[in-house]
Amino acid sequence: MADYFHWFDLLGIAVFAISGTLAAWRNQMDGFGVIVLASVTAIGGGTLRDLILDVPVIWINDNSYFYAIFIAVVATILLVRNRLTIPHNTLQFFDALGLAFFVVMGTQKSLDHGTSTMVAILLGTMSGVCGGMIRDVLCREVPMVFRGELYAVTCIFGGVVYSGLLALGVAQLPAMLSGMTALLLLRLAAMKWQLTIPVFSKHHNELNEP
């Protein structure tokens, strides 16, 4: 495996750890619970990806992922501990950055293991989305992926750009960087202009239990 794979995984894990720490701050969590939340957010997506691909999970033989989480958490704590407020987009920004790394890396790893392009993009999306999903479930919030703003579309788009460029003969590293950039820009644009795709019309909620 190319050396930059390791760095992309490390960066993805670090930025998801930052998003987990910010979510912990938001929920007034304290003590080492912060590290637990940051860790499951950071390694959740990659662990699920590797279990499904039936390869050793990335962190099982490599301590560097834990150093990355630890450094990211401590640095974030030091930065925010005396803040009274944090701009509300900060958490979403780091989540978007984590998505960019994980979706493209997940797509790549799946292709490496011989899946179809479609399954690769979906597994990339899954590995990008799941860490944040676990984070939001543990914090008892509506998962970010369900709060619109093209979240899932953005992931699929990043995977499509990456695998499309590969198919066009572009080398791996520029294809990866392009996929990540495309994903990040679309997600930031969707956040800024609150882009959504309405599917259901307004309705009363009568599907509840009687």
Binders of a second copy in range 84-123 (CB under 8 A): 84-88, 90-91, 115-116, 118-119, 122-123
Q: How far apart are CA 15 and CA 27, in angstroms?
A: 18
> Shortest approach of a second copy to residue 23 CB, angstroms?
8
Please say which residue, 104 or 145, places its beta carbon nearer to a second copy. 145
The residue range among 7-15, 97-105, 150-158, 171-179 that interacts with a second copy, by the rule CB under 8 A, is: 150-158
Rule CB under 8 A: choose which of 11, 13, 15, 80 binds a second copy. 80
Minimal distance, residue 207 CB to a second copy, in Å: 4
DSSP output for 113-180: TT--HHHHHHHHHHHHHHHHHHHHHHTTS--GGGS-TTHHHHHHHHHHHHHHHHHTT--HHHHHHHHH
Q: Map residue 182 onto helix, strand or coil.
A: helix
Dihedral of CA 87/91/93/94: which sign? positive
Under rule CB under 8 A, residue 143 binds a second copy: yes
Instruction: Please identify, using beta-carbon distances, which residue of 169 and 203 lies nearer to a second copy.
Output: 203
The whole-angstrom distance between residue 10's C-alpha and the CA centroid of its chain comes to 12
Residue type for position 172: Q
Candidate residues 17, 111, 129, 160; the one interacting with a second copy per rule CB under 8 A: 129
Total number of residues that touch a second copy (CB under 8 A): 77
Contact call for residue 140 and a second copy (CB under 8 A): yes
Cβ(194)–Cβ(167) below 8 Å: no
